[in-house]
Homo-oligomer: A and B are copies of this chain.
């Protein structure tokens, strides 16, 4: 098999961890596989580099920031290649540029525009391991170094797996896989055997931190099978693949594909409401045009008949807490042009999502969803749905209780004898 293995910063935090990762790679090679290893910067290196830059300037040029941050992966990749060589297997490290990771010129959050993995293939053909710096690429036209932004190293791994038509892309971190809910909130959460790309996308968009949205999107587009697993154990983790493959994996394990795959929650958003808008066409366009101009990332949007002013409507939306003040200021300006509807900013909210590919073909899911919340005494402030997801905004104080209630109502709780491993405590 041709396997891409990606190791996050906590898996390579010091020399000892790097040797442990090298050992896993060497075992994989000795089992008869070809391996490309993608690696993040060691532990806190990236934060330390950012800290250095802030000691010099509040507004670093993004080109310089990118080349600064890529130093971290240069260090971890060469050390990992040394460690693999030390264990008797040939390994060569490659920067993003050397690995042929070509990107757009958008510093800080460049997109991969192409992968030319000639040197990786040459290394594999010669029986060696290719170690690739994650998170970075090169803009061919300028020959300038770029970074891929959040989840960048995962995306590097998936992009290389796609370019090489690898059998699987293993993403190693300090968690054991994807769970039916955050085990820190729901003690009875279970590790899933497999989820579809669509479910994982909804999970990621709904607050699950396991994989970045873009990485899953890339994998879906190119049909890359992802295996999320822990670098601290040999346990199988969670496969992310297409519906057909999920079915195959569940069948292999004598399991039925579940209707609901999990519950996700997100407490990092705020909610802004505009109350008493004139009910004329183009109002929403006007509002979200202004919001977009200020670079604000809107998540859920709900519009309905105003609760407080008859003949008028209300619009509410959620946005990252970090942009909440900017959002409120922007909306107050817009409000002046729109005859002064009230602007409310609410920080004390949480988002709760139920995700499952089986929702499409199973009526009655939403009824069960809302009655479970009702029984738990949770009041719903906003609702939004997709084919395979129901999301609601509730009071932050109710969030954990609501997550548990849904997890139980949809029979996701683990049976007693099933061990749940979470965090770096495995094996």
Show the binding face of A for B, using Cβ within 8 Å: 14-15, 18-19, 49, 52-53, 55-57, 60-61, 63-65, 67-68, 70-72, 74-75, 77-79, 81-83, 85-86, 92-93, 95, 97-98, 119, 143-145
Residues A82 and B70 in contact, CB atoms below 8 Å apart? no
CB distance from A46 to the nearest CB of B (A): 12
Flag if B74 contacts A56 (CB, 8 Å): no
Interchain nearest-CB distance for A78 vs B (Å): 4
Bound: A97/B144 CA distance, A: 10
Contact across chains for B53 and A79 when beta carbons are under 8 A apart: yes
Let me know if A74 and B85 touch, CB within 8 A: no
Question: Could you tell me if A70 and B74 are in contact, using CB atoms closer than 8 angstroms?
Answer: yes
Provide the residues of chain B in CB contact with A18, threshold 8 Å: 56
In the assembly, how many copies of this chain are there?
2
In angstroms, Cα B93 to Cα A60, docked, is 12
- With most chain B CB atoms within 10 A of its CB, the pick from A19, A68, A75 is A75
Contacts of A55 in B (CB 8 A): 14-15
Q: Which of B15, B57, B68, B95 contacts A85 (CB 8 A)?
A: B57
Most B-side CB within 10 Å, residue of A49, A82, A144: A82
Given the contacts A49-B75, A75-B49, A82 and B56 also touching, CB distance less than 8 Å:
yes
B143:A56 contact, CB within 8 angstroms: no
Residue pair B74, A93 in contact (C-beta under 8 Å)? no
Distance in Å from the Cβ of A116 to the closest Cβ of chain B? 12
Which B residue's beta carbon lies closest to that of A48?
A: B75
